[in-house]
C-alpha cells in the first residue's frame, strides 16, 4: 500500500502526506512511526529511495525526508498486483456475491 501511495503522491512524498493518503484511502488512522518503519524496510529492499530536503526554520532547522518509488518498487507493485488477481480469480463467493 505504501508503494502505491508513493506512486500517487510523486516526488513530494514524505511522512505526513503519506499517512494522510493511506488514511483517506482506507478510513483507518495510521501512525507516522509505522509508516517510517515500513519506508525504511522498503528502502533496504531497494523498492524506495529517499533524499533529505533543505532544513527549514518552521521545522526547527530539520529537513524533511522525501521518498520515491524505484524501478524495482514499480516491478514489485506489478508482481503483487498479478498475485492478488490470481488469488481473487475463481473465488465463487466474489463472482456471484456473498449475500
C-alpha to C-alpha distance for 6 and 3, rounded to whole angstroms: 5
Q: Taking the model in full, what pTM does it have? A: 0.81
For 33-47, how does the pLDDT look when each residue is reduced to its tens digit (9 = 90+)?
999 999 999 999 999
pLDDT of residue 94: 67
Beta bridge mates, 52: 65
Residue 46, all three cell numbers: 531497494
In the chain, what are the domains?
2-88 (1.10.10.10)
- Give the model confidence (pLDDT) of 52-91 as tens digits: 988 888 878 888 899 999 999 999 999 999 998 888 887 7
What is the CB neighbour count within 10 angstroms for residue 35?
Answer: 20
Per-residue model confidence (pLDDT) at position 79: 97
**Helical H segments across 1-99, by residue range:** 2-9, 15-26, 32-44, 71-88, 92-96
> Is pLDDT at 96 greater than 90 in this prediction?
no
Residue-averaged pLDDT of the chain = 90
Helix (H, G, I), strand (E, B) or coil at 86: helix
The residue behind cell 483507518 is 28
Amino acid at each position: 500500500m505504501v508503494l502505491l501511495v508513493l506512486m500517487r503522491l510523486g516526488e513530494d512524498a514524505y511522512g505526513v502526506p503519506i499517512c494522510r493518503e493511506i488514511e483517506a484511502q482506507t478510513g483507518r488512522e495510521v501512525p507516522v512511526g509505522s509508516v517510517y518503519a515500513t519506508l525504511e524496510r522498503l528502502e533496504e529492499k531497494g523498492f524506495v529511495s529517499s533524499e533529505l530536503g533543505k532544513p527549514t526554520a518552521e521545522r526547527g532547522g530539520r529537513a524533511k525526508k522525501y521518498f520515491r518509488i524505484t524501478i524495482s518498487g514499480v516491478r514489485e507493485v506489478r508482481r503483487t498486483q498479478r498475485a492478488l488477481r490470481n488469488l481473487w480469480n475463481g473465488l465463487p463467493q466474489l463472482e456471484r456475491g456473498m449475500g
